[in-house]
Amino acid sequence: MQLYTRKEIERIIRLDPSLIKVIEQAFTSLVTKKVTMPPIMRIDVPEHNGEVDIKSAFIEGEDSFAVKLSSGFFNNPSLGLPTSGGMMVLLNSRTGQPLAVLADDGMLTDLRTAAAGAVGAAYCSRKDARRAGIIGTGAQARLQLKALTFVRPIDHVYVYGRKVERAEAYKEEMEKELGLPVTICSSVKEAVAESDIVVTTTPSRKPLIFAEWMKPGLHITAMGSDAEHKQELDHGVLEKADSITCDVIHQSERLGELRSAAALKSPVMELGELTSGRKQARTSDEEITVCDLTGTGVQDTAIARFTWNALNNKGDDHDERSQNEHQIHLGR
């Protein structure tokens, strides 16, 4: 068994089209293959305001699978440490023996989460969506925007954060990194009003977006809520949406935005049903679409395998594989 540090992993894995396609494929597996994906295991550490979540999935026919630990310790910032962390263990599917420990400190979770956002937007939002609204100013606010640029012709960003200085840092960083103009909004409402696609990336415990702000053609990806006490969308948003897609329905009902939903317009779909071509989220430019992501074990297994292959030079070469590729087309 080998141990890889975050530094080693960072050298070889980044958010790029190859990774987005790997995560797209993982969602397809969920509906086209036999997958063992047990419910998330959560270990609470109430004394230190922390929790560890464990996710895993075995996909039929694959020679390895991952067990992922991700931690959220909310007193960490006062100790000068990041709130979230984690690691993945890759196991041999035939023997159960550990192949590698990816001590990534949560980096791979961040990347596979952002990649899922790109997949959600690629299958739900209008093809000509170019204005991105980002709610929140943390790591996912950055990565989700970057991921969007691979699947939609984003040309303007509208960000809202509670702390102005963090929004300003976000603007400066993103303008520099992505070469896109970023406008700081003074409210969530304003960001929604300006945008074709809105991504919510917060740990909010109460709704941030309301039904009366919905407008034709809007797509919202809500990726912040992943626990019983979190919520980013008012139930009215879900009730007004023409289509709702989740990564995993039963998980969204327990930990995501579906918890608050009552009368929906149509049956909720799973992302794998879209990526596999079995269903379609959007049938016109006027429809309002919502995609709720809570995070799944298949994404972890997919990125752990992708990383392991790259570390062992079994996959495509990092530099070659996507240097000249920016916007990509997913699916059909």
Q: Which residues bind a second copy (CB under 8 A)?
A: 1, 3, 34, 36, 38-39, 41-48, 50-52, 54, 56-58, 60-61, 65, 67, 69, 71-73, 75-76, 79, 81, 85, 87, 89, 91, 93-98, 101, 103
- Where does residue 309 rank: exposed (0-12), middle (13-18), buried (19+ CB within 10 A)? middle
Q: Is 68 a catalytic residue?
A: yes
- Phi-psi region for residue 295, left (φ > 0), alpha (ψ -120 to 50) or beta? left
Which has the closest alpha carbon to 201: 140, 260, 265, 253?
Answer: 140
**Please, what is the minimum distance in Å from the beta carbon of residue 41 to a second copy?**
4
User: 80 or 267: whose CB is closer to a second copy?
Assistant: 80
Q: Which of 48/229 has CB closer to a second copy?
A: 48
Helix and strand element counts for the chain (H, E)? 11, 15
27 vs 65, which CB is nearer to a second copy?
65
Count CB-CB contacts under 10 A for residue 194. 17
Closer residue to a second copy (CB): 34 or 329: 34
* Cα Rg of the chain, angstroms: 19
Structure tokens at 244: 């709702």
Q: Give me the least distance between CB of 21 and a second copy, in Å please.
A: 25
| Smallest gap from residue 228 Cβ to a second copy (A) | 14
Q: Tokens standing for 256? A: 């995501």
E strands along the chain, which residues? 2-5, 35-36, 41-45, 50-59, 64-73, 84-92, 98-103, 131-135, 156-160, 182-184, 197-200, 219-222, 243-246, 269-270, 289-292
The Cα–Cα gap between 263 and 254 comes to: 17
* Distance separating alpha carbons of residues 180 and 149, to the nearest angstrom: 10
Catalytic residue among 55, 68, 230, 240: 68
Q: Nearest approach, Cβ of 50 to a second copy (angstroms)?
A: 5
Q: How far is the CB of 216 from a second copy (least distance, A)?
A: 43
**What tokens appear for 235 in the block?**
């139930």
Which CB atom, from 43 or from 169, has the smaller least distance to a second copy? 43
Catalytic residues: 68
